[in-house]
Amino acid sequence: MTDSLLPAMFLVVVIGLIWIIKCLNILREYERGVVFRLGRVLAREKGPGLVLIFWPIDKLIRVSLRVVTWDVPPQDIITRDNVSLKVNAVVYFRVVNAQRAILEVEQYRYAVEQAAQTSLRSVLGEVELDDLLSQREKLNSRLQTILDEHTEAWGVKVTQVQVKQVDLPQEMQRAIAAQAEAERERRAKIIAAEGEFQASEKLAQAAAVLNREPAAITLRYLQTLIEIGTEQNTTIVFPLPLDLLGGLAARIGVGRERPGAEDGGASASR
């Protein structure tokens, strides 16, 4: 009789061990558990730590609360100014409510991925190419806000969206490079013109000062001679003031006019 009960007792012990193992669940710090009892969800999510359930009446579903990084595959985008691009992005999201992530959507990760692709195409299709290249932070913030509004009902929080890479056609790359070069040339010409304008103002001020103080011209002339004398030159050029040259020209002109006048007087007397 005892020998016949040993297999049954062994079977009962094995089933009991299996039942206990099924009832004991250990959830990590970043995990939460949603428990269904006869198809109905319990009011409070479980975890972390040791979680006891009444198996097989209860069923535990584990949900990770860690941030998920998903690389959005390249999307074909046509911008507002009719430029065809390929754009990819990266999305960071995490579950903040495990029950809603299980109850409100069948596969919350797949749903977030599809919403991210749709939002990326719709938002970037409303802007021009220049805005896409220059206002990327603003577009990232707008994408994050739109996605967060969609996923809030699923218990998912989109923490960040970043447009990672924009692939331009070759002809568009050449056009942008030519535009950038023209912009740099324009800035260089403006800076050179501003320098010339400032230099002309300073020269005008210096000329006004020299005009008010004639002795300053002589001092400047002597300073120039000192600078020339300090250098070992074979040819020395002496600068002459313009007023001195004007006086010499006037005297030469008067000297030329006098012989003619005397000849005219002599012929008249004759």
74-96 pLDDT, tens per residue? 888 888 888 888 888 999 999 99
pLDDT of residue 236: 60
In the predicted model, what is the mean pLDDT of the chain?
79
- What is the radius of gyration, based on Cα positions, of the chain? 46
Instruction: Give domain 68-168's CATH superfamily.
Output: Band 7 domain (3.30.479.30)
Q: Within 10 Å of residue 32's Cβ, how many Cβ atoms?
A: 22
**DSSP assignment string, the chain:** -HHHHHHHHHHHHHHHHHHHHHHEEEE-TTEEEEEEETTEEPSS-B-SEEEE--TTTEEEEEEE-SPEEEEEEEEEEE-TT--EEEEEEEEEEEES-HHHHHHS-S-HHHHHHHHHHHHHHHHHTTS-HHHHHH-HHHHHHHHHHHHHHHHGGGTEEEEEEEEEEEE--HHHHHHHHHHHHHHHHHHHHHHHHHHHHHHHHHHHHHHHHHHH-HHHHHHHHHHHHHHHHHS--S-------HHHHHHHHHHHHHHHHHHHHHHHHHHHH-
Whether pTM > 0.85 for this model: the answer is: no
Whether 117 shows a pLDDT value over 80: the answer reads yes
Specify the residue for token string 């692939």.
Answer: 167
Distance CA 178, CA 64 (A): 50
Specify the residue for token string 């924009």.
Answer: 166
Specify the residue for token string 């050029």.
Answer: 237
Q: Return the minimum-mean-pLDDT range out of 7-11, 16-20, 215-219.
A: 215-219
What is the side-by-side strand order in the sheet with 156-167? 68-78, 84-95, 156-167
pLDDT of residue 157: 93
Distance CA 244, CA 234 (A): 26
Distance CA 85, CA 70 (A): 21
Q: What are phi and psi of 40, to 5 degrees?
A: -105, 135
pLDDT of residue 93: 93
Give the CA dihedral 85, 86, 90, 95, nearest 10 degrees. 90
pLDDT of residue 197: 86
pLDDT of residue 266: 41
**Tens digits of residue pLDDT in 166-212:** 877 777 667 677 777 787 888 888 998 888 888 888 878 877 777 77
Whether 268 shows a pLDDT value over 50: the answer reads no
Contact between 121 and 77 under an 8 Å Cβ cutoff? The reply is yes
Q: For residue 89, which of 132, 152, 134, 153 has the smallest C-alpha distance?
A: 132
Distance CA 232, CA 226 (A): 12
